[in-house]
Each structure stands twice: as C-alpha cells, then as structure tokens.
Amino acid sequence: MGVDWSRIMPKEPVGELNEAVNFAALERYKWIINRVRSYGMKVMLTLFHHSLPSWAGEYGGWKLEKTVDYFLMFTRLVVDSVSDVVDYWVTFNEPHVFCMLTYCAGAWPGGNPDMLEVATSALPTGVFNQTMQWMSVAHSKAYDYIHEHSTLSKSLVGVSHHVSFMRPYGFFDVAATTFANSLTLFPFLDSICGKMDFIGLNYYGQEVVCGAGLKLAETDEYSESGRGVYPDGLFRMLLQFHERYKHLKIPFIITENGVSDETDLIRRPYLLEHLLAIYAAMIMGVPVIGYLFWTISDNWEWADGYGPKFGLVAVDRANDLARLPRPSYDLFTKVATTGKVTRKDRDRAWIELRRAAKEKKTRPFYRAVNKQGLMYAGGLDEPLWRPYVDRDWRFGHYEMEGLHDPLSRFFRFITQPLTTRQKPEPEDEDVELALLPLESFELAS
C-alpha cells in the first residue's frame, strides 16, 4: 500500500511545519496499517507512487533540489508515525516512468515541459537525468533515516523498479531500443546500489519499439492497457538483473506483476505462467523472496482512468462499488495457500483461453492506435474490441519471430526452408510444481 504525500502535507512547508501537516491523515494511515497487521499480514509501504503534491508541481517538483528536502520532511513524518508496524519500505515506485511521463512527455500532471525541455529531455543534462538524480538523492537520505529510526529491526528498504522486455520492430529500431534500455534499465539502481536491502521489480510484459513509439504487433497477445504478454521476459529480466547486482547479495521482490483483462481469460494463464517463470529463475539461483500481484481489485490508472480492469476482484461502479471475485481470485488463493502450480490448473486456464481465440471472440482494448500501428500514451474512454490472439505465449513456449520490418520478413521468408527444424517431442511433465518456500533464501545481514 502507499501513502499520499499531498494528503499528509497538503501545503508547502515554507514556515512552521505543523501548519502544513494533516495529522489526522497520519493517524488514519496508522489505523489502516494496524488493521492490516491484525489480520496476520505484513506491510509493504510505498512513500512515492507518482503522487506529487500540486504545490510542488507548481514550482517544478523534482527538477529542483528543495523537493528532496520536502520529501525528507514527509518521510520523517511517516517513519516516526508507523515505523513500528512496517516490514518493507518502498521509497519510490517506478521513478523513471514518473519522470518520463511527467517531465519529458507532459502526459501526467505536475510537469508541463516546454518544447526545449521535451527536445533535450534525454540528453545527459536534460530534464530526465536531472529529475532522476534528485530522486536518487532523496532515496538515499530516506534510506538512512528509515534505518536510523525504524523500531522494527528487520525492516527492509528498497525501490520498485519498472522493467519491460524491449525488442525492436525493425532493423532501424535496434538503436532506439538500445538507447531506451540504456536510460531505463540500470542507471537509477546503479546510483543507489549501496542503499538497498532488496530490489523490487515491476514487470507487465514486452514492448515492441518502433521509431520513437511502441508498435502494436498483431501476432502478439496484449493486455487491455497495451502491454504485450510475454512471461519469458520476466525470467530473462530476473537473470539479467541478478547478473548485474549479485555482488550486493540482496534479494529480489516482484513488487508488481499483473494484466488488465476484464474477461479474466488471459489473467489466469498469465498468473500461472509468470509464477513458473519466477520459479525457473529461482532454480537458476536468483533470490526471489516475494511476489505481489497487481492487483487485488480494479483500480484507477493514471493514463487510463477506470477503463482497464486489473483486479482479481471486479468493482461494480454502478452498484455501490460491489466487490465481485473473478475466477482468477480463487486460482490465486489456491496457489498462495498450497504453494503449488498444478499441471491441471495450468492446462485448464490455457484451454479456456485458446477456445476463446479459436472462436474469434473479442475483448476490450483501451489503447489508441494510429494507422501505422503505433500506440498512444493516453487511454480511451470507450474501448476498441480486439480478438484474442491464437498464439502460444506460455512460459517456455513463445517463439520469437525476429524483426518485423518488410525487408526482414522477406529475408526470413526466403530462408525459412533452410532454417526450419523439427520440434522435439515434449517430455512428460510433472503433475505439479511446488514453488520454493521463501525461507529457502537467507537475507543478507
């Protein structure tokens, strides 16, 4: 869960701090957290999840150093109030996503970049690196304060870092993909690597880079939000991040993984296949100690509003916000309580989705697409209707097609007889896969 900076500090603290603080809101958050713990659950608390106070946005927000000082004031208030009941602290959730969409693209509130800022945003001296630098400073200071004042001796501090598996659409998009990865994959974590107790990864799927945008690949399955479904990508990202940061001897937590899917037909195999991807990474030595599915109930998205449905539980907004558990809720409950992904559940979930694809059924899609197949950052108020894609994207089954530009497709077509190999017969699978217990990995002291 997260705390809203602007709810606790509705005014800029330029004078007496107490005059800028809503202490009733702090007490309310503490009451909620205590209720959570009373049900036997541990608390992971996020301090900044894209919610910049409007007063900070007015003067430039994370473009200015004084925001670091204000954020530390806010952090101190929260830590001093609830440190005795918080097990995991996330200082920033997806900081580079916030900086890109707020200060580089102007798609989120609080940024309002001018044309020069947009044009120079990705340069070393541009607004992206500028805002990311102040966020890394803020994280480091918050990390120190939490550890100096937390009353829970085993509380861990980290960040939730957004990753996606990026691949180029065509030959001329290879450089753009490499550049995008160079900005987003490692720089922020590298800047704070001495101030993390765990690395949180948020993974939703793959993105096909085309020019300066993202391409809708017609042969791939997508969520309602326009994220390409690709469980193998999570496995590959975990191995890549483990290789880079294994010297730190700290664990990983999958802090977000989920799919927007009102029909719930994609969500069930999506859940199981990504758990299997994590399991495979753990077998190869990646220390994953936790998994958080996004999300429990349908939520509001920054760019998409209430359109895409992410919840294991549906929210009926026309009927007094009634909560209606979807079939995936029961499936998640079963996996969480047994610690197992059974072959029967995996097959059933996949067969139901495959049947819908064979029958040419459609489902909502909330991402605008232009005539060239490029997706816009903003969402749609009313969805398009897109058919399910008849493609095997299960973990270990997805076959990468290569580049999609006309020249690459033509070359692949004429060389296909020379490169096609007969698939080996699949080996008999175990009836069930037991997920490794979290305690099997000891945390670094």
Q: Is 70 exceeded by the pLDDT of residue 421?
A: no
- Helices 343-358 and 267-283: crossing angle, nearest 10°? 140
**SS3 category, 71:** helix
- The reported pLDDT for the residue numbered 153 is 73
Query: What would the two tokens of residue 410 be?
Result: 């033509």
Mean pLDDT rounded to a whole number for the chain? 91
Give the tokens for residue 391.
């493609």
Read off the pLDDT of each residue in 29-56 and give the average, rounded to a whole number. Answer: 97
* 125 prior amide bond cis, ω within 30: no
- State CA 387 to chain mean position distance: 25
CATH ID of 5-411+430-440, from 3.40.50.720, 3.40.190.10, 2.60.40.1120, 3.20.20.80: 3.20.20.80
Whole-number pLDDT of residue 401: 78
Confidence (pLDDT) at 435: 55
Residue with tokens 């001018």: 114
**47-85, pLDDT tens digit by residue?**
999 999 999 999 999 999 999 999 999 999 999 999 999
Strands 252-257 and 288-293: parallel
User: Which of 188-202, 328-342, 397-411, 425-439 is predicted least confidently?
Assistant: 425-439
Do the Cβ atoms of 111 and 58 come closer than 8 Å?
Answer: no
pLDDT in tens, 127-160: 999 999 999 999 999 999 999 998 777 899 999 9
Measured distance CA(151)–CA(80) in Å, rounded: 9
pLDDT at 444 over 60: no
The model carries a pTM of 0.92
Beta bridge partners of 324: 314
pLDDT of residue 418 exceeding 60, the answer is no
What pLDDT was estimated at residue 7?
Answer: 98
Q: Looking at residue 405, what is its pLDDT?
A: 67
What are the extents of the domains in the chain? 5-411+430-440
Reduce the DSSP state of residue 283 to 3 states and report it: helix
φ/ψ region of 310 (left if φ > 0, alpha if ψ in -120 to 50, else beta) reads: alpha
Q: List all residues 6 or more positions away from 407 whose beta carbon is below 8 Å from its beta carbon.
A: 170, 171
Q: Which residues are catalytic?
A: 256
- For 131, the enclosing helix (H) or strand (E) is helix 127-149
